[in-house]
Amino acid sequence: MLIMNARTDDTGHTESGHPERPERLEAVTAAIEDLHLGDDLLEVAPYAASRSELARVHDGTYLDAMGNYCYEGGGDIDADTYATYDSWSLAQHAAGAGLAVIREMSSRGDGVGFVAVRPPGHHALRDRAMGFCLLNNIAVSAAELTSRGERVLILDWDVHHGNGTQAIFWDDPNVLYVSTHQWPLFPGSGAPYEVGGLHALDTTVNLPLPRGATGDVVRHALLDTAAPIIDEFAPTWVLVSAGFDAHRDDPLAELALSSGDFAQLAQLAASFAPSPGRLALFLEGGYQLHALRDSVSAAVGVLLGSDVASERPTNGGPGIDMVESTRHARVAALRLAYDAGS
């Protein structure tokens, strides 16, 4: 069963010409309709995440400032990121949608979660909006889970590095953050030597990949470098920052994945979950509407047992050597950090 947030009217969060636009969620809605889930789809009502739920990962002064900024009409926050009057309520509901989905899954002990919201979240820092993101939706849900004693793997396959999520959980040993991303690319973080803080060494795993990298290279990076660390960490929940902007047709980046690759990545994510009912995808990027629709269908569909990807998985692109050098750089960085900490 797919447990998904019911869609809220997000059309008020929009800026003329901006790629992070309401049509994205229309494409995602169409992608789910394409699966004809019938009774296999359970929609849960999102709600506005409370201040205390948001304050687990955001500074109170930031929450006040962002709320006020929106209620005064909003505007451009930086070169990439905008907010409107409606954005604050929508961002709170986006964060609350994750909590609602996680709680429904917890009470059922079953299902696949999908949190399809905007604005996205993984660039949002504790005290700053960034990269189209106002509140870090996946971090809010991960923090709720760790407050209950869970150990959370956040797998971030968005084409951009989730600098906000990494920073929020940098020194938290109960969250393992694993990111595959194009390198170099916005926001510039996500180097292999970024391995976590002194209390949480080896719980940040960055797997940068060169432009043109194909699905086989992404899978190799995850299996070769991340999988042993994930096994050791033994997550009790797996949350995915599921951006679909690593698709070869996406206008914002230059990785070369297909919808079939996203199906394979979803299966890999599921293999990291300890049992059914412990895997939830959170929408992040994905700006080419056809690619987004196709990729969401493929990824969600395969988790529910249907292979609907219209594009074959890709292979043969560059980056295997970067996976190797990443592994060496991690080992060296960990050695330095352990020496410094001892």
**Interface with Zn ion (CB under 5 A), residue from 13, 58, 160, 220:** 160
Of residues 131 and 313, the one with the C-beta less far from Zn ion = 131
What separation in angstroms does the CA of 203 have from each of 10, 152, 286, 340? 34, 10, 26, 17
**Residue 285 interacts with Zn ion (CB under 5 A): yes or no:** yes
Query: Min. distance of Cβ 59 from Zn ion in angstroms?
Result: 24
> Residue 299 and residue 220: Cα distance in Å, rounded?
18
With CA atoms as reference, report the closest residue to 34 among 304, 276, 247, 313.
304
Q: What are phi and psi of 69, to 5 degrees?
A: -60, -45
Query: Min. distance of Cβ 131 from Zn ion in angstroms?
Result: 8
Question: 């529910």: which residue's tokens?
Answer: 304
**Residue 243 interacts with Zn ion (CB under 5 A): yes or no:** yes
Q: What are phi and psi of 135, to 5 degrees?
A: -120, 145
Residue 19 burial (10 A CB sphere; 0-12, 13-18, 19+): middle
Of residues 118 and 278, the one with the C-beta less far from Zn ion = 118
The yes-or-no answer on residue 181 being catalytic is: no
- DSSP strand pairing (82-84 vs 74-76): antiparallel
Question: 């961002």: which residue's tokens?
Answer: 91
Of residues 135 and 145, the one with the C-beta less far from Zn ion = 135
**Residue 162 interacts with Zn ion (CB under 5 A): yes or no:** no
Of residues 111 and 121, the one with the C-beta less far from Zn ion = 121
Give how far the C-alpha of residue 273 lies from the chain's centroid of Cα atoms, to the nearest Å. Answer: 16
**Residue 113 interacts with Zn ion (CB under 5 A): yes or no:** no
**Residue 123 interacts with Zn ion (CB under 5 A): yes or no:** no
Query: Min. distance of Cβ 292 from Zn ion in angstroms?
Result: 12
**Sole window of 108-116, 176-184, 235-243, 325-333 interacting with Zn ion (rule: CB under 5 A):** 235-243
Question: 């020496």: which residue's tokens?
Answer: 339
Total residues contacting Zn ion (rule CB under 5 A)? 5
- Catalytic one among 122, 123, 161, 220? 123
Of residues 19 and 274, the one with the C-beta less far from Zn ion = 19
Structure tokens at 64: 């006040």
**Residue 156 interacts with Zn ion (CB under 5 A): yes or no:** no
Contact residues toward Zn ion (CB under 5 A) are 158, 160, 243, 245, 285
Q: Which residues are catalytic?
A: 123
